[in-house]
Each structure stands twice: as C-alpha cells, then as structure tokens.
Structure 1
Amino acid sequence: MYNASERLERLPFSRFHFTLLIIGGLGLAFEALDAGIIAFILPSLREQWGLTGLQAGWIASSTYVGFLVGALLSGMLGDRFGRKVVMMWALVLFCVATFINAFATNFHEFYILRMIAGVGMGAEGAIVAPYLAEFVSSRYRGRFTGALAGFFSFGFVMSALLGYFIVPMSDDGWRWIMVIASVPVVFLLWMRRALFESPRWLEEVGRYEEASRICTEIEAQVLRSSGKPLPEPVKMSLAAKAADSAVQGAWAKLATLVKPQYLQTTLVVWVFWITVMFCYYAFLVWIPSLLVARGFAVTKSFSFTILIYLAQIPGYYSAAYFNDKIGRKYTILAYMLVSCLSALGLAFASSDQEIILLSMLLSFGMNGVIAGQYTYTSEIYPTSIRATGMGTASALARIGAIASPTIVGAAYPVLGFGGVFAMMTGVLFVGGMGILLFGKNTHGVSLEGIQQ
C-alpha cells in the first residue's frame, strides 16, 4: 500500500501539472496587477483628492496591511481546513473589494477597501505555492514553483501597461483599472472549481480514502495525457510523519514554528522574507516617482518602468530553471548577489542610461530571488504546518512592505537617489547572509524527506 507522497512522486510532468501551473499562476498575476497598479494611480489620486504626502504613503502601504492579515490567516486556516477552500474564498474577497474600490469617493473609503482587498490578495499569495507544490514530484518541484512565482511578473507588466495607457485617458482612468483588475478573477474562480484538495494534506488529517481517490484520479489524467504506463511507486524510507495531536489547533500550529526543532529555520525564513520584500516593494512602488524626481518626464518614467518590469520575466524563469539545477539555496544566493551589485551600482549611477540598465538588472535579480524564495519556503516545513509556515513568513514580510514606501519617502529628501539604493543594498545583504550561513539545501529531496 503506497501513500499519497509515493504515488505523486512517481508521476511524470504532464498536462495535469501544466494546468495547475496556469490556474495557480493566474491568481498570482492578478495579485501582482493589483499590487503594482498603485504606483501608477497614486499620482491621479493625489491630484484628484488633494492628498498630503503622508496620506499618499498610507495608501501605498494599505494593501500590504491587508496582505499581513490575509497571509497569516490563510496559512493557519489552510493547515486546519484545507488549502483549496481558503484559496477560493481569498479570491472572492479580493475580487469583490477591488471592484467596489472603483467607486470610492474619498481617501478613507479607498484606504479601507484597499486593505480588505489586500487580505484576499495576501491569503491567495500565501496559500497557492504550498498547495500546488504538494502535487509535484521533487524532480521538478523547484522549476514548477519558481515558474508559478513567475506569474507575478506578468501582473506587474500588465499594471505598467494599464498605468501607461489607461490612467492618462481621463481623471477616472484609475477607476477603470480597478474594474479591469477585479472582473477577470470571476473567470479564474470558475476555472478553479475543478481543482483537487491536496492528497498530502488529506492524509495528514486522516482522510485516507479521499486522498487515495484523488491520487487515482490524478494518475488516470496523467496516464491519458502521456499515453505511457506509469512507473511503479517507490516505497520511501522517509515516510510522512503523523500529525501531532498537540498542534491540531491553528494557534498551536503557529506556536510550533518557534519550537526548538524549527526555530532556526523559522528565524532565517522570517528575516529573509522581511528584507527581500522591503526592498522589492520599495523599488517597485517608488521607481516611477524616483525617476520623475531624477528629472524624467512622467510619461517617460512610466515607459521606462515598463522596461524595468519586463526584466522580471527572465529573472523569474531563469531562476526557476536553476532551482532544480543548483538548488534553491544557491539560486537565491546567486540572484541576491546580482541584486546587491545592481542596487550598489544605482547608488553611484550618473547617467540616465546607467540608471535604466541597472534598474532592469535589479528587477531581474530581485525576482530571481523571489522565485527561489517561494520554492524554498513552500517546502521547508512538514505538511502539518507547511501552509502556516509559508503564511507566517509572507505575513511578516508585509512589515517590510508596509514600512518600505514610507521609509523611502522619508529617506529620499535626506539620502537622495543614491542613498536610497545604498540602503537597499545593506538590507539585501542581511537577508542573503542568513540564507548563506543557515539555509538548508532542499535540492532533489521529497517534501517528507526535507524534515528528516
């Protein structure tokens, strides 16, 4: 008798896995679209509602406040009630709040609705990677999860295109963007209705018959698409551990993350996520405004931002490839080095061409780091607390995302363009050293084997 992990590990990559990748990735693309668009609609809101600099900073951070709450709750609820149900309701919340946001009439309404939409976005982003990783063999889990995270890049590129073409069309261009960001999610919800619950999670909570039935259905789909007999499952010497009755409650699962056997892993992951997301959102939210402050026209700033966002795509997908070639840890470190050197170069850049090229290289490197980050965090914890671990890391990372727009806004008048990027270099260095000194290498190891 084989368990779910042994049955899923033997499956070749097939149309089933590709469908999972597309359906899961589209959710992340819409999340990135909604998060990225704030950089382009903020100038319109400031002019239309007469916002102060402080109010603009609050709006820039509002989504990330929601992210924090949503990511934390989705992780705990996903380990308690299942991955699929949490993911679906997170999308519903995001869709409804974003659509209503199109009709906001003042700063307070917009801020509150952005936070609510952020709860949905944070929950979606935190649950989808550990959920889908549980369907994938260790042979290509790194490429799969890295490619999944790569859909963020398409969302940010779309946000830049919408900001460039739609926002200038009228004073209410930002309202149309809110509608565009929300309506397609209805179609995605319809697509996701046929997804299975994770068999690994079902076995973890004792629903063995349901897990076996889903594995049988997945095997039948893979067999039909490949047309070849499936290899025999291999009995693993490192079997999945049974759930500890002491960590069945959501808050008890959260407490498990800081127990001695997980404390080092948890601290490394938390510091890593906070530092990376601080720099990531500081860069993405402020780059159009920083370019304008540097002397670029607004339209030229937006067009250059599109180029910078486009550099995310090769960053994500090259890192997804290296995830399974050299391992997550060393992929993260390589792209972190690229990011640090780029940010340091920006601190001393003097020409417009240098600024654009180094900004593109920083975008490339940062998103390569995130491709490794999502893969690493979604597999480093056991099934019983995997979603909680991912959700908590993602939630705490929003501290960096919340603080970074305000800190950059306050630091720029004092430090200048170069000083902001020197600060980013230092923050990235801290996160990279944590992974270098204390990170695990999970390359080629089954999800169950990583914890042994």
Structure 2
Amino acid sequence: MSTTPPPPATAPALEHTAQDGAFGWLRDLGPHGRRAFAGAFGGYALDSYDYFTLPLSMVALSAYFGLDSGQTGLFTTVTLVVSAVGGALAGVFADRVGRVRALVITVLTYAVFTVACGFAPNFETLLVFRALQGLGFGGEWAVGAILVAEYASARHRGRTLGAVQSSWAVGWALAAVVYTLVFSF
C-alpha cells in the first residue's frame, strides 16, 4: 500500500489541449506580449553571449593587462555578485516606477557599461565597469522575466518563461562560435 496521496486534480484552466500545439503559448501572448518575449529572449541571449565572451577571451585579457589568476577570476565574480544586487534593486524599482521603465533603465545601464568596458585603459577601470554592467545585467534578468510573466497566461507561464530562459544557451553557443572564428585567425 502506498502512503503517497493521489495528485490533486488539475484545474480546467491549466489543462493543455491539442489545439495549443507546440507554440500555443506564443500565440497566447498577444502582440505586446510577443514583443516583450522577443526583447527578453534577445536580451538574455546577449547577456549570455557577453558573460561567456569574457572567460573565453580571458587569456588575451590577462596578457594585455598583465593580470594574475586572482585578478582574472575577479572579473567574472564581480559581474555575478553585483548582478544579484542589480536584480534585487531592479525588482524594487520596477514596483515603484513600472516594469517597462525599469527595464529600459536596466538595459541602458547594461549597454553603456558594456561599451565602456571596451575603452577601459586598465584592470581597475575594467573591474568597475564590469561591476556597473552587472547592475544592469541582473536588473534586466529580473525585470524582463517579470514583464514577460505578466503577459503570459497562467496556463502557459511555465513554457513561456522556460523559452525565455533557454536563450541563455543560444547566447553561449553564439559566444563559442564567434570565439572560435575570431581566435582562429
């Protein structure tokens, strides 16, 4: 005899039908939701591309700036740690000023400091720019997911956000391909 209780009955609103098809969740978003989804998918993929480009090019960066292994590891660490702070701050900020406005500000923060990283003259400046980039990076993740979730129906929310999260792999693959092409010359 099993002591495990039977699973609860599925609510009719959460049942998936054959008419949903593989992309019923995307049709269900509506035009504004699809735009939010495309923006979040592209943004997450670019975040991943950027995040993985750094470790792939770390040998070149450490040679250029004359860094030791501790300093090179600090680049990736600072981005992730500050991105956690950025996500928390952006969530609070989004509740006060709205999701779209918060998302625009986080994307601009991320973009400005990503470009600034390319002009950093030394290790310290690059480290500060990576940290500030992390604020935008984390904020974009938090607010982008919330915005897309607001457009998704309860029935498709899991699939929709799963599809957004899958863009991380797209960005990683793109970084690996670009790295292979660039560093093969």
After superposition, residues 10-409 of structure 1 pair within 5 angstroms as 13=28, 15-16=30-31, 17-167=33-183, 169=185
The question of whether the paired residues in 2 share the 8 Å contact of 1:77 and 1:86 is answered with: yes
Distance change (3 Å), C-alpha of 1:168 and 1:109: farther
Match of residue 207 from structure 1: none
Match of residue 16 from structure 2: none
1-structure distance, mates of 2:51, 2:29: 32
Report the number of matched residues: 159
Q: Which amino acid aligns with 2:138?
A: G
The question of whether the paired residues in 2 share the 8 Å contact of 1:69 and 1:119 is answered with: yes
The TM-score, its normalising length taken from structure 1, stands at: 0.34
Q: Which amino acid aligns with 2:119?
A: F
The TM-score, its normalising length taken from structure 2, stands at: 0.79
Deviations 1:70-117 (A, max 9, x none): 111101111122111111010101111111111112111111111111
2-structure distance, mates of 1:47, 1:24: 35
How far is 1:15 from its partner?
Answer: 4.9
2-structure distance, mates of 1:100, 1:32: 18
Match of residue 7 from structure 2: none
How far is 1:163 from its partner?
Answer: 1.7
How far is 1:120 from its partner?
Answer: 0.6
1-structure distance, mates of 2:40, 2:80: 21
1-structure distance, mates of 2:145, 2:76: 25
List runs of 5+ in structure 2 lacking aligned partners.
1-24
Rg larger for:
1
The question of whether the paired residues in 1 share the 8 Å contact of 2:94 and 2:102 is answered with: yes
Q: Which moved more, 1:82-91 or 1:14-23?
A: 14-23
List runs of 5+ in structure 1 lacking aligned partners.
1-10, 170-452
Q: Which amino acid aligns with 1:86?
A: A
Q: Which amino acid aligns with 1:119?
A: L
Q: Which amino acid aligns with 1:55?
A: Q
1-structure distance, mates of 2:110, 2:72: 22
1-structure distance, mates of 2:50, 2:89: 20
How far is 1:18 from its partner?
Answer: 3.1
| Higher relative contact order (CA closer than 8 Å, sequence separation 6+) | 2
2-structure distance, mates of 1:21, 1:112: 31
Distance change (3 Å), C-alpha of 1:80 and 1:52: same
Q: What is the alpha-carbon root mean square deviation over aligned residues?
A: 1.8
How far is 1:14 from its partner?
Answer: 5.3
Q: Which amino acid aligns with 1:13?
A: D
Match of residue 22 from structure 2: none
Deviations 1:276-303 (A, max 9, x none): xxxxxxxxxxxxxxxxxxxxxxxxxxxx
